[in-house]
Chains A and B, each alone.
Chain A
Amino acid sequence: MQPTDIRDPDYFHKVVDCQWACPAHTPVPEYIRLISARRYADAYMINWKSNVFPGVLGRTCDRPCEPACRRGRVDEEPVAICRLKRVAADYKGDVSSRMPPKPAARNGRRIALVGAGPASLTVARDLAPLGYELTLFDGDRRGGGMIRSQIPKFRLPEEVIDEEVGYILDLGIETRFGTRVDSLKGLLAEGFDAVFVGSGAPRGRDLDLPGRQEASENIHIGIDWLASVSFGHVEKIGRRVIVLGGGNTAMDCCRSSRRLGGEDVKVVVRSGFDEMKASPWEKQDALNEDIPILNYLVPKEFLHEDGRLVGMMFEKVAARIDADGRRHLEATGEPDVRIDADDVLIAVGQQNSFPWIERDIGLEFDRSGMPIVSEVTHRSTRENVFFGGDAAFGPKNIIWAVAHGHQAAISIHKLCEGEDVEARPPPMVTLTSQKMGIHEWSYDNDVSNDLRFRVPHQDKAIALRDIRSEVELGYDDALAFKEAQRCLNCDIQTVFTDKLCIECDACVDICPVDCISFVDNGPEAELRQRLTAPAHNLTQALYVSNALKTGRVMAKDEDVCLHCGLCAERCPTGAWDMQGTLIDMAQAGTEKVLACSRH
């Protein structure tokens, strides 16, 4: 193998599994250490810079970081990265003075943002301090997009949305709330330098089955119904409710129903339990609220009597593996199942729709009706129109909307500065030795043996009585500290200097997880088999040195390193050092700031 090039900014970034997996590349271990130090406001601001909505995301994020977390590979469960983010938000105190000021002067560039969801708000947050004049349109009366209209208040209290949307609007943004944009052509004619489309995926899929029309009074599209609940237009539902669908929207529908009079609420899903799209924790929360999830039932018919819905018929299916190994559902031939109900909520998927975008303005759509958008620059085929969030590539989640927003802001800024939009700014990576003494590091290298701590929940009876009563109460200060201690500090890197190594084996002997080997070099696939512990996880890199004095190389499997620093403590020559990596992703305008600070 070729020696590893640790100057490649991605090399050590990938070792920080959580940060690499986070679409916005939040410096997770850095904020977790600040939580351990009870520096909540500092932890909050690190998050705010990267992901813009720490209080919202600390309660609702899809948390792709957690399945990636290294702790999950050496312990039963990953660090509760998401809920620690909430801790930073809960205990930060007043951070208004840390927010960027309204810019003193404008730069004369006007940008329109369609939709006030997390994608547009992120663009606004990144561009406002640079002096842009931003106009934010939304058909709704308040900002937040689906964060406000869809996510039930028992998961995300209104005050948290108000606060974090407020920090952005306070940067001096012109809002045109209650104004639906019905023509992109018209908007462009108003002379904006660029338009960002963050209009989401606003249409819920319907089910065209017998009885749909006749019983329509008591059949509701999930996301429309949730919006009506959020805005207070719906306050009740029938006693017996069927929720169709296995995603997170279905979970929000059933749990909301339980709080609005639904006593007998069932979720009915075509697929098996494990194949459901909902996150495991969302399913668990529904089960905890006595909502059965019935699998392998395909909806067949809405039953109605005298123009009123009385129930539904379902066909029983089973999963079969066909000849070419694909899974599919097959009717079992058993009798159909009837479930009685007073109301049905359909939560079987979400779609994009762009009726307000003309097809003759140089903005191309593909065959499925989606705009053609670059995944890197977020630019459409029209030079000054950009897409992000659910509007760009179909429904995803908040943190992806934020990540898109950052990238689109970079593109818009480059466009307005006359720079090449395709040339993307690299991240800033700094490495700093953590050594303070022979066995003293400036980070806490003791590895906690604790299992993941549960977040305390509101008493169920109280929670089900009021749809605004938040179910999760959040970690208190002491639990937060203990959970934060579970983090393995993956951003404190093991850095090897081959010239200093005397091949004494001290690091090999001390490493608790057998990461390090001194071996003859060879092709990667073969080398991986010959290590102290064979390196089977191909998604994790091998760190390979130049040839040492004996002709062998040092090969370290990054997979399960605990970043405990013992290799560096036991190294007599300092060939191993623990170095903190700060990976600062570029945002709009940071290149300029860097260029200036270098002069």
Chain B
Amino acid sequence: MSFLPKPRMHHPDLHTNALGLTRRDYEGAISTLCAGCGHDSISAAIVRACFELDIEPHRVAKLSGIGCTSKTPTYFLGASHGFNSVHGRMPSVLTGANLANHDLIYLGVSGDGDSASIGFGQFAHSIRRGVNMTYIVENNGVYGLTKGQFSATSDKGAKSKRGVVNSDEAIDMVSIALQLGATFVARSFSGDKVQLVPLIQAALRHKGAAFIDCISPCVAFNNHDGSTKSYDYVREHNSAMNYLDVITGRDEIVVDYAPGTTEIVTQHDGSTLQLRKLSQDYDVHDRVAAIAFLAERHAAGDIPTGLIYVDPEADDLHGYLHTSPTPLNALTDSELCPGSAALEKLNASLR
């Protein structure tokens, strides 16, 4: 934890993106989280993802709840819109904001406590409604902010820092998201930016509810022997199924991998996901198989990471509700109050 602002000085060769911004322009205030917290790495991954996608910072709304995780939006995208809601209520605030103005890019950042306990219902409904958003759970298996109590994602049998064994069954956020109809589902690890950054990019470009469960070790309360969310444990059990490259309009697609190992997925907005498969026979478009696969790998003690499921043709809440193409918050009085004749007509249709 530093009291000093990060120096403005940067590497002389620092690149600018299509908007003329550097990666440093996407940073926020300096983090006040514990040194070494996985959450800071995820913030850095979000910074990189947005910089590389040439996203205009003012077009992003970042929302969070309560927890160490939920503090992080202060530490990235300093020039974006932000909302820090009450504990577990990020999904409904995000849903409301998205309904009012679908023109922004919505990024929900939450913790395993925030989303799998107090906000579990909120999480579920935002996913099943297909809100167009990127929902990242920074999963450390504990309530970090309140000093390390087990969270609902903590594995049964995992040991707390003081040696207490968790006797409750764990909630697997990825399986739940699949069941609830999320149209983009991934799991990653804060310590593997090569995998994480493109997954965040793909999620940001996805139309519909995109969910990323990102394991993010809590160095203060859950990084010891006996923890199943420590740096060492996750590195040992991480089984990456695939790596992504996200290709936007500007770049040329060059496939130079052995046949059968690479799959090209074109999303709704034209962005291309180039999937380098490490698990040959895994199909990222089969929701039911994905659920079964996760259960199997979990039983074997593996932590499968990578892109787990994607429906590139998905629609979102606005599509389901047939809302107007103009964002609701941009409609004027004349459109919102079309007059007594229109009201009369509407009433008549309901009689």
Contact = CB atoms under 8 A, between A and B. Distances in A.
B344 interface: no
A504 B36 contact: yes
Interface of A: 73-75, 438-439, 445-447, 449, 502-506, 508-510, 512-514, 533-534, 536, 549-550, 560, 562, 564, 566, 569-573
Contacts, number: 98
Contact of A75 (B4, B9, B193): B9
Contact of A504 (B12, B31, B41): B41
B190 interface: yes
A449 B13 contact: no
A78 to B, nearest CB: 14
Nearest to A569: B2
B36 A513 contact: no
Interface of B: 1-4, 6-14, 24, 31, 34-38, 40-41, 43-44, 190-191, 193, 217, 219, 223, 231-232, 235
Contact of A449 (B9, B11, B231): B9
A536 B12 CA distance: 11
A502 B231 contact: yes
Nearest to A532: B11
A74 B217 CA distance: 34
B11 A514 contact: yes
A550 B191 CA distance: 11
Nearest to A505: B41
Contact of B13 (A439, A536, A564): A536
Nearest to B1: A439
A503 B4 CA distance: 24
Contact of B35 (A75, A533, A562, A571): A571
A198 B14 CA distance: 49
Contacts of B41: 504-506, 509
A572 B13 contact: no
Contacts of B13: 533-534, 536
Given A73-B12, A513-B9, A536-B13, A504 B2 contact: no
Interface SS of B by simple majority? loop
Contacts of A572: 34-37, 219
Nearest to A560: B11
Contacts of A549: 232, 235
B178 to A, nearest CB: 29
Nearest to A576: B35
A513 to B, nearest CB: 5
B347 to A, nearest CB: 59
Contacts of B8: 449, 512
Q: Which 10 A-B pairs have the closest CB atoms?
A: A572-B36, A447-B7, A509-B44, A504-B36, A572-B219, A572-B35, A570-B35, A512-B7, A505-B41, A513-B11
11 contacts: A74-B10, A74-B12, A445-B4, A502-B36, A503-B231, A504-B36, A504-B41, A504-B190, A513-B9, A550-B235, A570-B36
A271 B36 CA distance: 57
A218 B231 CA distance: 82
Nearest to B45: A509
Nearest to A513: B11
A504 to B, nearest CB: 4
Given A439-B3, A449-B8, A569-B1, 10 more contacts: A74-B11, A438-B35, A447-B9, A504-B231, A506-B40, A514-B14, A560-B12, A566-B2, A566-B6, A573-B36
Contacts of A446: 4
Nearest to A508: B44
A508 B192 CA distance: 12
B212 to A, nearest CB: 17
A505 B9 contact: no
A533 B11 contact: yes
B235 A74 contact: no
Most buried by A among B7, B191, B232: B7
